[in-house]
Structure 1
Amino acid sequence: MSNVSNQLLSGALSGFATTVCLQPFDLLKTRLQQGDGTIRSGRSASLLISTTQDVVTASGLKGLWRGTEASLVRNVPGVALYMTSLTQFRTWMATSQYFALVHQRSPPDSANVSVLPKLTSTGNLLAGATTRVGVGLLLNPFSVLKARYESNMYAYDSLGGAFVSIVRQGPHELLRGFLASSLRDAPYAGLFVVFYEGIKREASYLAPPSSVSHSALIHSISAASAGALATMITQPFDVIKTKVQVRQEDRYHGFIKTVHTIWQQRGISGYFDGASLRMSRKVLSSAIGWAAYEGILMFVKTSGLRKQHI
């Protein structure tokens, strides 16, 4: 298999694993964020508990996995495309003297650290942001589908029927929430790659990985830490994006209108609805996803080297 094929497969498996395991976090986050601030009351913890109880009472535990099909349609190709495009873009950028990380200390056993390209912080920031926005534009229709399928404000009978319904509303509906998504995803992805590579590099100096399992642990901890930092910085845009994609009232039509509406109704706290759920989801998905992605690539590379020596 070619490098691109390996990267696509690794990304797809990563996206599948994180989606199936963590769908309840996405569903509950969407339910918390979809509400209209004029009728919202209660503390975050009690709202989370009551929302979970409502879902389980109405549909049983399986109700927490509602929208898994839509999430898989969005996340499996999305993660595969993002991680592959990011790796390819970073590989290309590493050939430039402006972005290649030339002066770098190497851990004692650098072979077990990573198989990904090494860039400066500026290079990682640009690579992550640019790739995420490009893939986000391509897959935005599926993001709208995912958000609405997780919501309980739409009575869709099937995944196909839901998608046809959105398509019939025209291109504007297919790209609904893209601005908010971009303002969330560009800084998130850029900062994530910067934090991830930086934490991974420092962790490798402090505790040089001596095995594949040790390396996977470093990848998981680095990705979880990077995901937590990047999530809190970009949380307001996630709330805005969800309301734009789910609510139909005129006051939620458009990015600026939605920002103004949230501020009027709930103030600064309104921009952090579902923050704990998104934080939990991002930390876990980053830890699982990047450990799986880099782990599979390292396994393929190691297997290839072994075959060459046979």
Structure 2
Amino acid sequence: MAGTKAVVACPSLYSKILESTFPQHFSFCFAYGSGVFRQSGSDITNNMIDMIFTVEDPPAWHKENISRNPNHYSALRLLGYKTVARIQENWGAKVYFNALVPIKDAGVTIKYGVVSRSALVTDLLDWNKLYLAGRLHKPVEVIRKTSDSQLRSALQLNLHSAVHTALLMLPENFSEHEFYITISSLSYAGDFRMMFGEDKKKVHKIVEPQMESFRELYSPVINSLSDFLEVSKESGLCSQDASPVARIHHLNQLPRAPQRAVVRLWNRDSRKLRQDTEDTLRAIAYDPDCGLFLLECIKDIVSASSIQQSLKGILTAGIFKSLRYGGNKILKMIKS
């Protein structure tokens, strides 16, 4: 699942960050973003490294981390590790971030999030938040592999879900570049930061330098869907079965949250006879606007989680770090 490694973000650097700084009670860890993978028009050496720690016991992990690294936290740490863990588990996308953390031994600045294994698995399978699931649609650098079979399975199913969703939104013929752009755009659809605070060309800058990493990541999924999708390695052109039968298959494979949302949206029209899930999905498959229905539902999921998580970030990072972090994002947006 790892993409092309950046020169600055080598395995020895990650080892130095993990071993010298953090509690070791985590089961899965990955790094992502412009500080890990080179993006078009960006100097990777100047970018913050983003990391995610997956833990079994958030209160215990925060207790030890606050003891070791109190300066990583905002004033929320004064309320105790149990409060920090409750904020993580009950607010926003169930991730607790500490931003703009200098790691002096490694000479880098990082932002790291903490998520429980159960919350991550739920998002990967159901897309109830489409937050970390969306980040894992793109190449990441796995720093510590998981030995948990449920999490490994959820990580793979998340990639399959991304392909089924993208195919419903794409026409019969499209380019490989469009395919990965569509997948990468899912977690940004409806994100208010894309209107104010994010680089407007962010998705293209992610995909274009990493085409080979995307191919490596999605090749097993594409091979498993050979009855529905063909990708030419020579020309980079793709063609899919766009028939209602194929659409029904993709709709049935959607994660629980967007699938239920599509059914609710379809049945909201009072002129239509209310149908059960199976009949509704079959009806949607015959509608030429099927992809648009799905996109609206994806936007609603992402919009809610991105707003909640951003408000939560003001608390977890503190006012000064939030202003600094937000200012950096706005500068990138202006430059783009």
Normalising by the residue count of structure 1, what TM-score does the alignment of the two structures yield? 0.28
**Which one scores higher on RCO, CA 8 angstroms, separation ≥ 6?**
1
- The structure where strand makes up a greater share of residues is 2
Normalising by the residue count of structure 2, what TM-score does the alignment of the two structures yield? 0.26
